C-alpha cells in the first residue's frame, strides 16, 4: 500500500520537478512507512536525504496530504537497500554520493579530448591530467589562473568528467565560487550551517571555479578557509581557478592567498597564433557535423587566427557564426563573407599597441637598454631609437603628446613633438631608417 502510494506521488513529482531532477533525487528514495504524522524514507546517502529534505520537503508533504495522509514531517535513514541509483547521462550533471555531487552543471563538450594543447597551456593541461588520474595527491591545491576564455573552466570540467568515469568511488564536487557563496548564505538563512559543513567537508575532490568572486565577502571567505583546511588535513584534492594569481586577487584574505600558493600555481598564458589556428581547425571539424559540409576558402583560418586574439570564446563564436551564415545562404566561407559577417568582432579585436610595448620592441631592435631609452643620455645611438619610439607611439596609439612624454622619463610634450617631426623628415631621405620603422610597425601590429 505504501509503495503504491509513493509510486503515484513520485510520478506527480516527476511532472513538477522534471525528469533530470526526478532521476537524481526522487527515484533513489524508498518510502518505508507512513504513520503518526511522519513519512519515513530510505535514501542511498545522507547527502541525498539532506538535499531532498531541503529542496522538496514541502512539495512531498503537499502531495501526501492531497492523498488523505496527515503527514507533518519527513524522516530519512541511510541504507544499502535503497532503490538503485540511475547512472547519469553524459549531457546532464551526474549526481549522487558516488557521482559528481549536485553542483554546477557539467558540459559534455568540455573534456580532455576537445582541449587543444599548445605552448601557452601545456603545463596547465599536464597538471590537470595528473590530477584526473585520481591517484595520490601530489600537489594541493592545483590553482589554475588566466584571462577570460583561455580554458580554465574547460580543464576543470575535464578533470571532473575523467574522475567520475574512472574513479566512481570518489565524491567529486564541482561548482562556481558564486554557487558556493549562495549555498553558504542559504544555509545561514535556513539555520542549516552544519549540513553545509558536512556536505562540503565530506567530498574527496572539491573544485571551485572563479574563486575571485568570494574576495571581499568576509563570512564566505571565513567558511571557505575552514573548508579548505579541513579537506587538506584529510589529504583530499582541491582544484581552484581564478582570473589572476592568488597574490593578485584584491580583497582576498592573506591567509587564503597563502594557502592557495602552497600547491601548484599554473598560469594559462594568452593564446599564440599556432594554438588559435589549431583551435579553429578542431572546431571546424566539429561544426561540420552540425551544419553539414561547408566549403571554406584558403586563408580563412589563418586570417581569423591572426586577427582575433582576445580569447578562445570569441574565436569559436566567430567561426560558428560563419558556419551558420554559410549554411543558411548556401555559399562558401569567403574573405568577403568574413569581412561582412564579422565586422563587429574584427573592429573590437583590432590590435591595441601600448607605448611600453613600443619602447621594448624598439630597444630590442636597436640593441639598447630600455633604461637608456628612458634616461637622459643624448648620444646618437640612444637618441635616434628614442625618437623612433616616440614617433611610433604617436602613430600607433591614441595617447596624447603629454601622456607619451610622461612614459619617456617625464619629458615635455615639445620634446616628443620635436622627435616625431625629426623622424618624419628623415623617413623621406633615409631608406634604412624607413625600413626599420616599417619592420617595427609590422612586428607591433602582428
Reduce the secondary structure of the chain to three states and give it as a string: CHHHHHHHHHHHHHHHHCHHHHHHHHCCCEEEEEECCEEEEEECCHHHHHHHHHHCHHHHHHHHHHCCCCCCEEEEEECCCCCCCCCCCCCCCCCCCCCECCCCCCCCCCCHHHCCCCCCCHHHHHHHHHHHCCCCCCCCCEEEECCCCCCHHHHHHHHHHHHHHHCCCCCEEEEEHHHHHHHHHHHHHCCCHHHHHHHHCCCCEEEEECHHHHCCCHHHHHHHHHHHHHHHHCCCEEEEEECCCHHHCCCCCHHHHHHHCCCEEEECCCCCHHHHHHHHHHHHHHHHHHHCCCCECCCHHHHHHHHCCCCHHHHHHHHHHHHHHHHHHCCCECHHHHHHHCHHHHHHCCCCCCHHHHHHHHHHHCCCCHHHHHCCCCCHHHHHHHHHHHHHHHHHCCCCHHHHHHHCCCCCHHHHHHHHHHHHHHHCCCHHHHHHHHHHHHHHHC
Domain with CATH 3.30.300.180 in the chain: 2-78
- Average pLDDT (345-373) is 84
Residue 208 predicted with pLDDT over 90: yes
Residue 158 predicted with pLDDT over 90: yes
Residue-level pLDDT at 73: 87
Residue 25 predicted with pLDDT over 90: no
Residue 99 predicted with pLDDT over 60: no
On whether the pTM is more than 0.75, the answer is no
Residue-level pLDDT at 82: 37
Residue 389 predicted with pLDDT over 50: yes
Residue-level pLDDT at 386: 95
304 touches 315 (CB < 8 A): yes
Residue-level pLDDT at 79: 63
- Average pLDDT (380-391) is 93
- Average pLDDT (1-14) is 87
Which of the four pLDDT bands, split at 50, 70 and 90, describes residue 416? very high
112-267 to CATH, choices 3.40.718.10, 3.40.50.920, 3.40.50.300, 3.90.1150.10: 3.40.50.300
- The rounded percent of the chain whose pLDDT value lies above 90 is 27
CA 364 to chain centre: 35
- The rounded percent of the chain whose pLDDT value lies above 70 is 92
Residue 87 predicted with pLDDT over 60: no
Paired with 419 in beta bridges are none
Residue 89 predicted with pLDDT over 90: no
Which of the four pLDDT bands, split at 50, 70 and 90, describes residue 247? confident
Residue-level pLDDT at 102: 53
Residue 88 predicted with pLDDT over 70: no
Superfamily assignment of 2-78 in CATH? DnaA, N-terminal domain (3.30.300.180)
Instruction: Tell me which residue of 383, 375, 432, 431 sits closest to 408, measured CA to CA.
Output: 375
Which of the four pLDDT bands, split at 50, 70 and 90, describes residue 94? very low
Domain with CATH 3.40.50.300 in the chain: 112-267
Residue 351 predicted with pLDDT over 50: yes
- Average pLDDT (187-194) is 83
Domain with CATH 1.10.1750.10 in the chain: 355-445
Residue-level pLDDT at 350: 63
Residue-level pLDDT at 139: 83
Question: What is the tens place of the pLDDT at every residue in 172-183?
Answer: 889 999 989 988
Residue-level pLDDT at 383: 93
Residue 130 predicted with pLDDT over 50: yes
| Domain 273-348 CATH class label | mainly alpha
- Average pLDDT (126-144) is 87
355-445 topology per CATH: Chromosomal Replication Initiator Protein Dnaa; Chain: A; (1.10.1750)
If one counts every other C-beta atom within 10 angstroms of the C-beta of residue 130, the result is 15
Task: Please provide the average confidence, as pLDDT, over all residues in the chain.
Answer: 84
Residue-level pLDDT at 237: 92
Domain with CATH 1.10.8.60 in the chain: 273-348
Longest dimension (CA), the chain: 102
Amino acid at each position: 500500500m505504501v509503495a503504491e502510494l509513493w509510486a503515484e506521488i513520485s510520478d506527480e513529482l516527476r511532472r513538477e520537478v522534471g525528469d533530470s531532477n526526478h532521476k537524481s533525487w526522487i527515484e533513489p528514495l524508498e518510502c518505508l512507512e507512513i504513520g503518526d504524522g511522519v513519512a519515513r524514507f530510505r535514501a542511498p546517502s545522507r547527502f541525498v536525504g539532506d538535499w531532498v529534505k531541503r529542496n522538496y520537503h514541502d512539495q512531498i508533504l503537499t502531495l501526501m496530504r492531497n492523498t488523505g495522509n496527515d503527514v507533518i514531517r519527513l524522516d530519512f535513514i541511510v541504507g544499502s537497500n535503497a532503490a538503485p541509483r540511475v547512472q547519469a547521462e553524459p549531457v546532464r550533471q551526474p549526481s549522487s554520493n558516488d557521482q559528481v555531487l549536485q553542483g554546477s552543471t557539467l558540459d559534455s563538450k568540455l573534456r580532455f579530448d576537445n582541449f587543444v594543447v599548445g605552448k601557452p597551456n601545456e603545463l596547465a593541461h599536464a597538471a590537470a591530467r595528473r590530477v584526473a588520474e585520481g591517484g595520490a595527491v601530489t600537489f594541493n591545491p592545483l590553482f589554475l589562473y588566466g584571462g577570460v576564455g583561455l580554458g580554465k573552466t574547460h580543464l576543470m570540467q575535464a578533470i571532473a568528467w575523467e574522475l567520475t568515469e574512472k574513479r566512481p568511488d570518489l565524491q567529486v564536487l564541482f561548482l562556481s565560487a558564486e554557487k558556493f557563496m549562495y549555498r553558504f548564505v542559504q544555509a545561514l538563512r535556513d539555520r542549516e550551517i552544519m549540513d553545509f559543513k558536512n556536505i562540503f567537508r565530506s567530498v574527496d575532490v572539491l573544485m571551485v571555479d572563479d574563486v575571485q568572486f568570494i574576495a571581499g565577502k568576509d563570512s564566505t571567505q571565513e567558511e571557505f578557509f575552514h573548508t579548505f583546511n579541513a579537506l587538506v588535513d584529510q589529504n583530499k584534492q582541491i582544484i581552484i581557478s581564478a582570473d589572476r594569481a592568488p597574490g593578485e586577487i584584491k580583497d582576498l584574505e592573506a591567509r587564503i592567498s597563502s594557502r592557495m600558493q602552497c600547491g601548484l600555481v599554473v598560469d594559462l598564458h594568452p593564446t599564440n597564433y599556432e594554438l588559435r589556428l589549431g583551435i579553429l581547425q578542431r572546431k571546424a571539424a566539429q561544426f561540420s557535423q552540425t551544419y553539414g559540409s561547408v566549403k571554406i576558402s584558403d586563408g580563412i583560418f589563418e586570417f581569423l587566427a591572426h586577427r582575433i586574439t582576445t580569447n578562445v570564446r570569441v574565436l569559436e563564436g566567430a567561426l560558428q557564426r560563419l558556419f551558420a551564415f554559410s549554411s543558411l545562404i548556401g555559399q562558401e566561407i569567403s574573405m568577403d563573407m568574413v569581412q561582412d559577417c564579422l565586422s563587429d568582432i574584427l573592429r573590437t579585436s583590432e590590435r591595441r599597441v601600448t607605448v611600453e610595448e613600443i619602447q621594448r620592441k624598439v630597444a630590442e631592435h636597436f640593441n639598447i637598454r630600455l633604461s637608456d631609452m628612458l634616461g637622459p643620455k643624448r648620444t646618437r645611438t640612444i637618441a635616434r631609437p628614442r625618437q623612433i619610439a616616440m614617433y611610433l607611439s604617436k602613430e600607433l596609439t591614441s595617447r596624447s603628446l603629454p601622456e607619451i612624454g610622461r612614459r619617456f622619463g617625464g619629458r615635455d610634450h615639445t620634446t616628443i613633438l620635436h622627435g616625431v617631426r625629426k623622424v618624419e623628415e628623415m623617413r623621406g631621405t633615409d631608406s634604412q631608417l624607413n625600413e626599420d620603422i616599417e619592420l617595427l610597425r609590422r612586428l607591433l601590429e602582428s
